[in-house]
Amino acid sequence: MSLENDPELTKVRMDFHNTSFVSGGLPGEDRIRLQYFFRERDGHFFAEISTGKYAEGPPGHVHGGAMAGILDEAMGVMVWYNRHPVLTAKLNVDFRKPLPLGLAVVMESRIERIEGRKVYAYGEIRREDTIYASGTGLFVKMPLEKFPEMERAALKRRYRL
């Protein structure tokens, strides 16, 4: 199931994102681990996801807030990586099936459409044909000047802007 072997996908370095509420954390922390991949031909983002005991909600399953956070981050990072600096304006999540802790799953996200400053995205967390959660997001483009000066240069490098 490893995405690393897909020749169309490029592994995305996310070490600069180590303070993220979702994908950050300390080495060895048993919470959420994501490895992102990018497909250049259509701008889709993928992630290999593993979850541990500190992502638990219902006994033995991933917390819904953790799943929503994964979708939000993955869609947002994907939109940024497609050269649109944005902030999340709206996030809708459909929880389709409880996700067992420790189950290796894949997340895919894509841009659905762009209307002026609005970028609409879709993402889903799945394993083979089973979709555990899907979501849509409305992201609003923001000029880089709105971000603190020190971060602008880093943002340009991180997200290919």
pLDDT digits (tens, 9 = 90+) for 44-102: 999 999 898 888 999 999 999 999 999 999 999 999 999 999 999 999 999 999 999 99
Report percent pLDDT > 90 for the chain. 65
Instruction: Quickly state the pLDDT bin for 6 (edges 50, 70, 90).
Output: very high
% pLDDT > 70, the chain? 83
Query: Which of 6, 15, 30, 72 does the annotation list as catalytic?
Result: 72
Mean pLDDT of 97-113: 96
- Statement: residue 151 has pLDDT above 80: no
- pLDDT of amino acid 22: 72
Average pLDDT, the chain: 88
> Domain total for the chain?
1
For the question of residue 30 being annotated catalytic, the response is: no
Residue-number span of the structural domain to which 81 is assigned: 3-158
CB under 8 Å, gap of 24 or more: what pairs does 119-124 form? 119/79, 119/84, 119/86, 121/75, 121/76, 121/78, 121/79, 122/75, 123/71, 123/74, 123/75, 123/78, 124/71
Judge whether residue 38 has pLDDT over 90. yes
- Say which CATH number the domain at 66 has: 3.10.129.10
pLDDT of residue 27: 60
